[in-house]
Amino acid sequence: MAPTTFQGEFNAASYLVDRNLVAGAGERVAVRTPARTLSYAELSTEVRRAAAGLRQLGVRPEERVLLCLPDDVELFTAILASMYLGAIAVPVSTMLTGQELGKLVTDSRATVVLGAAEYEANVRAAVRDAPDVRHLVWQGGVRDPVAGLDCHSWEAVASADPAEVTAAFPSWPDSPALWLYTSGTTGTPKAAMHRHTDIRFVAENYAQRVLGVGPRDRFLSVAKLFFAYGIGNSMFFPLSVGGTALLEPARPNPQLIADRATADSATLLFGTPSFWGPLLASGVADGAFSTVRQGVSAGEALPARMFHGMRDRFGVEVLDGIGSTEMLHIFISNRPGEVRPSSSGVPVPGYEVEIRDSSGVPIDEQGVPGELYVRGDSAAIGYWCRAGVSREVFLGDWMRTGDTYLRNSDGTFSCLGRFNDMLKAGGIWVAPAEVEDRLLEHPSVAEVAVVGVADEDGLDRVTACVVPKQGHGVAEDELISWCRETLAAFKRPRAVVQLAELPKTATGKIRRNVLREMLAVTVDSTEPAAVTTVRS
């Protein structure tokens, strides 16, 4: 496949914002939140104000600006302003603890950190020992000083004279634009480095050629902007066609999303199986999504019952697909009106996929499982300062996804799970080793193995198999509270299983497949015998 190239200068923020002004769409609504609505003309002014303010702080091209903010106008404009300046936007999860966030601040070598007042404790802890941070900017007002840092309010920074930045930085298509942290296929947090051109590629190939998005569409996403999935849904896709992004800063729940969809006449609804399931079990009115013309799902394989439930109850066809942080968005997807339930669909235009065996040899036979490989021009150029892992994942034009797939007789592809021991909780990667390390710090725990145990919909739930030290036992509240101190909520075990010993190979490796099989039987058994399950 010949690579797509764009000649000359290209700045993704200008592509998303300025291009709409040139097209005469300045009065069209660009973004709407519960508190504010901005037209494209107003968004352009806000972006240039923020860019001017960041420049006054000394932000230079290709420096990192790390953002820990809720999904609102401030985060939206800060991401665009960073790219507009030629700097690198690094939106990070607001669910991380201060210790976890601190690792990303230090790793990224960000010079400027933007934090929301509601996350003050975690942000302050994160920047305390970060050697490269010079400026700490608070959204929601100036906070108490942090030793060694210049502190500012976002309101002041974003009020700079927009005339000081009259045009986007003349970046190239291959210039760095966006870093997104992922645990991905190898466990430790690492930044997937994306170029300006990657943003246009996913918007034009998936959003426009698969979803058929246009200027009248209103985009509502359960996934937040710090996810690759979410930033595509809520920024790249709507702005690429002059549509409207509907941002929701609050934690999503079925009634909240239904209310937003109704109030703002959402036409596209992006979710995950961990949202569709509770939605179907909720008391949300059947007509709540009457304006939605298309649903989209990613993060985990969509169970067939959820596809049928959404279509039959709410009249919303949900397209399942697979994407990744490394590829920026979805690269295999079902098509409107052509859904095969329990499959991810077929490759998105601009992408090729292969299924390979453990030796990396392509598997041509239908129905034979192997690891999924993908190539396309939205692939990250690698992981920041992770040469070894980059060489394992990015193999020339191809990228190893770490997912086990097979090709169906109709040409669609179906997911069978992970090719290694990584698991997903609520659509977010969880590294077993990270949870295990925390549990092993507990004085009562001798050994532990964390695995994913499928629920009735086949979705992973983080389960800790614990061997207590001699003379000790494990207590539900104590172990869950122990994990809560340093781990994000989605990483904490949802079940704790006490075992006398862990199954191991002759060389001492834990047999996680045996644990998964044993726990699957135990969950269905009315007599768990020697296994005690403690629910969180």
Q: Which domains does the chain have, with CATH numbers?
A: 38-171 (3.40.50.980), 196-413 (3.40.50.12780), 423-535 (3.30.300.30)
pLDDT value at residue 532: 45
Amino acid at 430: V
Question: Which tokens sit at 401?
Answer: 């996804």
Q: Which burial class, exposed, middle or buried, applies to 332 when counting CB atoms under 10 A from its CB (0-12, 13-18, 19+)?
A: buried
Segment holding 486, helix H or strand E? none
Whether 186 has a pLDDT exceeding 60, the answer reads no
Residue 86 binned pLDDT confidence (cut-offs 50, 70, 90): very high
Long-range contacts of 275-283 (CB under 8 A, 24+ apart): 275/222, 276/302, 276/306, 276/309, 276/310, 276/318, 277/303, 277/306, 277/457, 277/459, 278/253, 278/254, 279/254, 279/310, 280/306, 280/309, 280/310, 280/313, 282/254, 282/255, 283/255
pLDDT tens track for 12-48: 999 999 999 999 999 999 999 999 999 999 999 999 9
Q: Running DSSP on this structure, what letter comes out for residue 119?
A: G
Q: Over 50: is that where the pLDDT of 525 sits?
A: no
Q: Is the dihedral of CA 132, 487, 232, 19 positive or negative?
A: negative
pLDDT-based confidence at residue 474 (cuts at 50, 70, 90): confident
d(CA 536, CA 518): 19
The pLDDT of residue 424: 79
396 membership: H or E segment, kind and range: none
Residue 130's pLDDT is: 94
What pLDDT was estimated at residue 508?
62
- Give the confidence band of 506 by pLDDT, cuts at 50, 70, 90: low
Say which residues have a Cβ less than 8 Å from residue 56's Cβ, sequence separation at least 6: 157, 160
In order of 156, 176, 188, 232, 391, the CA distances from 191 in angstroms are 29, 12, 10, 17, 14
Higher-confidence position of 333 and 368 = 333
How confident is the model over 65-78, as a mean pLDDT? 98
Residue 507 has pLDDT above 80, yes or no: no
Contact 222, 247 (CB under 8 A): no
- Under the banding of pLDDT at 50, 70 and 90, the label for residue 426 is confident
pLDDT tens digits, 125-174: 999 989 999 999 999 987 888 989 999 999 999 999 999 999 999 999 99
Q: Which residues contact 508 (CB under 8 A, 6 or more apart)?
A: none
> What local confidence, expressed as pLDDT, does residue 505 receive?
67
Q: Average of pLDDT values for 187-191?
A: 82
Read off the pLDDT band of 498 (50, 70, 90).
Answer: very high
Q: Which residue has better confidence, 391 or 522?
A: 391
Residue 529 has pLDDT above 70, yes or no: no
Q: Which of 447-456, 464-473, 516-525 has the lowest mean pLDDT?
A: 516-525
Number of neighbouring beta carbons within 10 Å of residue 207:
27
Length of the chain: 536
Q: What is the pLDDT of residues 223-241, one digit of tens each?
A: 999 999 999 999 999 999 9
Give yes or no for residue 301 having a pLDDT over 50. yes
What is the DSSP code (8-state) at residue 235?
I
Question: Per-residue pLDDT for 420 more than 80?
Answer: no
Q: Is the pLDDT of residue 50 over 70?
A: yes
- List strand residue ranges (DSSP E) for 231-350, in order: 244-246, 268-271, 294-297, 318-323, 330-333, 346-347
Cα separation, 521 vs 57, in Å, equals 58
d(CA 343, CA 300) in angstroms, rounded, equals 11
Instruction: Match 């660009």 to its residue by tokens.
Output: 30
Query: What is the Cβ-side half-sphere exposure of residue 401, based on CA atoms within 13 angstroms?
Result: 30
Q: What is the mean pLDDT of residues 287-304?
A: 94
527 pLDDT more than 50: no
What is the C-alpha radius of gyration for the chain, rounded to an integer number of angstroms?
23
Q: What is the pLDDT of residues 92-120, one digit of tens each?
A: 999 999 999 999 999 999 999 999 999 99
Distance CA 152, CA 50 (A): 13
The one-letter amino acid code at 425 reads A
Checking if the pLDDT of 534 tops 50, the result is no
More confident residue, 206 or 306: 206
CA end-to-end span of the chain: 49
For residue 210, what pLDDT band results from cuts at 50, 70 and 90? very high
What does the alpha-carbon distance between residue 79 and residue 395 come to, in Å, rounded to a whole number? 30
pLDDT at residue number 183: 67
Q: In this structure, what token pair is assigned to residue 279? A: 């939605």
Whether residue 222 contacts residue 249, with contact meaning beta carbons closer than 8 Å, is answered with no
**Number of other CB atoms surrounding residue 471 within 10 Å:** 6
pLDDT at 440: 85
Instruction: Output the CA torsion sign for 70, 74, 80, 82.
Output: negative
